Structure 1
């Protein structure tokens, strides 16, 4: 009887143990562990050396453009400075080629342009002073004559300019307008000469770096061109053929 009781208890504990183990296995299969919560995630650092890097392209630098900007800047500050700067550029270019004969003529040409610039400014200044003085003389004469025409008291009338007695009132007014217009033209000419010397300095600076070698050629030859619409029955007509090789 005792053995039967022990056997019964053993079977009950065995049954309970098997059921507990089976339930644990099923719960593990149905509910997998959340590994994202259990294991902290670390930031993955990308190795930049492993990535393919594009080779940087070498930026093209135009020396003529840089020289042109410098020539403009110098000419804006002092008229003629850009021309002297271009002369220095050409001198360095000739020295690099080993040419010594072109220095004298290039220097003479540059100094000639600078002389023309300041000669033009000098002539314009003289013309401005002369026209301005003449304008003031005729303006004063016109004012005196206008005042004398309105003044009834002879004792209060102002004396006229003896050098302008031969001019009538209309001539005085016209001369005043002419000298005033000439003064305005001279002022405009100042700006024109100033702008021309800036443009000349820029163009010369760019041309110093303009490459012309044996690979560039321009050829103009006489030729014949077909003309189907000719009214005289000729299918060809003379023409010029221009060939550019570079």
Structure 2
């Protein structure tokens, strides 16, 4: 769950799928890569890496927000046993993301991307009620969630659809998401209506058992990541025709 709150923002969270408008070329800070070029894969990776520092500053033309920090109104997670709402979120560290691998298979309509961040920190206001690993959790207040050295991997399937005079890339729902991190730090203020001793014990348990916490919520993490990533990429793809992306 915690990783879900990070991953989809790296791609430029918007308020939803962007409505269709006049076709746009790639931003000037992204290099066009010829699909038949022998160095196509290397070109795509180089273009993505070179463009990332510009993307994290935001680009209203392409509905990309500023990442320093990235501000998010709210995120809701319901794992079945736990309900969590985080509002007024500031996400720090996304501007340090590094794309480690990028493979675009135009023949089979697949994209594989791996990226890494040194650290991601989420600050916000939370409301929570439920259980993790049979541990009861209830409270509201400030939250600090920090991921150390997170690595995220996507395998994305897409198809090409016709709209007007142009073709557009459309990401499908059957994608694969994997993630890992070296450490997760969690702190919820005001757990159990301000019971300081119980809150202290609970926060210590969550930090000590962070691996089992992530494992327990992994299916929810992957589903959330996939759903929002599909929405974001499809929103961006409505701006730029497929022919402009891969001439």
Normalised TM-score (structure 2): 0.20
Comparing both structures, which one devotes a greater share of its residues to helix? 1
Larger radius of gyration between Structure 1 and Structure 2: 1
Normalised TM-score (structure 1): 0.20
Comparing both structures, which one devotes a greater share of its residues to strand? 2
